[in-house]
Amino acid sequence: MSEIQNKINQLIENRETARMGGGQKAIDKQHEKGKYTARERIQMLLDEGSFEEFDMFVTHRCYDFGMEKKHTFGDGVVTGYGTIDGRLVYVFAQDFTVTAGSLSLSMSDKICKVMDMAMRNGAPCIGLNDSGGARIQEGVNALAGYANIFQRNVMSSGVIPQISAIFGPCAGGAVYSPALTDFIIMKRETSNMFLTGPKVVKTVTGEDVTQEQLGGASMHTTKSGVAQFAVDTEEEGIQLIRQLLSYMPQNNMEDTPLAVCTDQINRLEDSLNEIIPDNPNKPYDMMEVIRAIVDNGEILESAADYAKNIITCFARFNGQSVGIIANQPKFMAGVLDINASRKAARFVRFCDAFNIPLVTLVDVPGFLPGTSQEYGGVITHGAKLLFAYCEATVPKVTVTLRKAYGGAYIVMSSKHIRGDINYAWPSAEIAVMGASGAVEVLQAKALAGFENAEEKAKFVAEKEQEYRDKFSNPYNAARYGYIDDVIEPRNTRFRIIRALQSLSTKRLQNPAKKHSNIPL
């Protein structure tokens, strides 16, 4: 056998060794936990045969605490690029079979390389996280490795889509990279995210808490809002990544991909003419409205289990990707509070960064009152949503279905904050507040003078009706041009599509600045 053939055989052998990661025993242990390996995950994520791997033969550079005896090809992360539905993406997948996926400086260098390439080539970057955290044996070098990744996350933000999937542990400094990305997907039961684990919590605060309670997928998608999606299987999570990307452009310089639309653009939805209850305090399901007007009733909801009083989702109108923000009267009457404001503001800013038009469906009675909201800074958090809409330069189409009261009317993509086309249903009520509250303020002196309860009630009813006649309709706002047209509910799909078509060439730029100072 020739010398060159020996070298080729050695290469083939080295590749096989690298593909085994931490070895068969470690792989079997990973499978026993109900988890896939890094390479199996990448294979499921990317189009068949499209993966091109980088840095397969990288090893760590640590020689302390016995690490000089433990060198594994790849060093705990698999990196490279491939395609999803034919579109270029860059990916890194942490390999738990190698030193529990703990981060070394070499691992960080590998991750940073694909992040840099993703930025240079304008393609999304996907991180599949499954790591025990920083490699303690490397000390400050491991921390430097994390910092290098974080810096790139920040520089990539708003330039290329960044998606993180958490398929195992993610603790300490490791959580900040996913937190800096656009969307986080967590698998129930096997994944967790926290800054300090249960043992440290017990030592410092005395609390007894499990990993799942402290940082599990259910907690982060319902209580903290850190993650937007929780899935039951890794297959479901990986399919979700592919679905998410289908609504996004490759980068901030491109338009969203157009899908083939098989749904008639002038389809009438008669059910919408009857969906608003006669009683203004009675709820209905805004999701029924959304599914009735978008292409084929298909949506992808983000943060579905967090701040349910507002809906944020991706959908399509005539094949065009849009981001939909809608108050949900089914929960807390669709009121805006701290969590709803934060959730919606983040979604608006993502869509604006990546040229995804915004469709806003409004039925909001105002901001949630109370000491817990005021103490929690609802003013600042509400201002985030206001800021996000004011700053957004993408096409903005707004439909007011029922209530639009007070400051919440302004915040929800009103004409005054550069809403491009603002429609209203005949059932829309645009006013400073509801009739009963308005009468209490406007007729305070008159009400104080009544001694007879019946006469007082009659007076209140008359004044409330007078207020309703004036404001419980969209025509007062339409008189001033704040509403571009009052539309028949069943015609909503067609009117939104026509509006989006007319805005396809919209050009709007914000003043030149280093960056804005959003109220954080």
Q: Which residues are catalytic?
A: 172-173, 407-408
- The residues facing 404 across adjacent strands are 364, 430
Distance CA 461, CA 447 (A): 12
> 510: burial class by Cβ within 10 Å (0-12, 13-18, 19+)?
exposed
- CA-angle at 119, arms to 226 and 388, nearest 5°: 45
Maximum C-alpha span of the chain: 112
Contact 194, 169 (CB under 8 A): no
- Which tokens hold the place of 163? 């998606």
- Which tokens hold the place of 192? 């967790």
Residue 454: CB partners within 8 Å, gap ≥ 6? none
Q: Half-sphere exposure of residue 458, counting CA atoms within 13 Å on the CB side?
A: 6
What is the DSSP annotation of 228-242?
SEEESSHHHHHHHHH
Dihedral sign computed on CA atoms, order 28, 34, 35, 40: positive
Q: Which H or E element spans position 314?
A: strand 310-317
DSSP E strands in 221-309: the ranges are 229-231, 299-302
Q: How far apart are the first and last CA of the chain?
A: 67
* Torsion (CA) 256, 258, 261, 266 in degrees, nearest 10: 60
Q: How many CB atoms lie within 10 A of CB 367?
A: 23
What is the DSSP annotation of 156-211?
HTTTS-EEEEE-SEEEGGGGHHHHTSSEEEEETTT-EEESS-HHHHHHHH-----H
> 308: burial class by Cβ within 10 Å (0-12, 13-18, 19+)?
middle
Closest CA to 125 of 159, 148, 101, 96: 159
- The strand pair at 310-317 and 299-302 is best described as antiparallel
Distance CA 342, CA 361 (A): 17
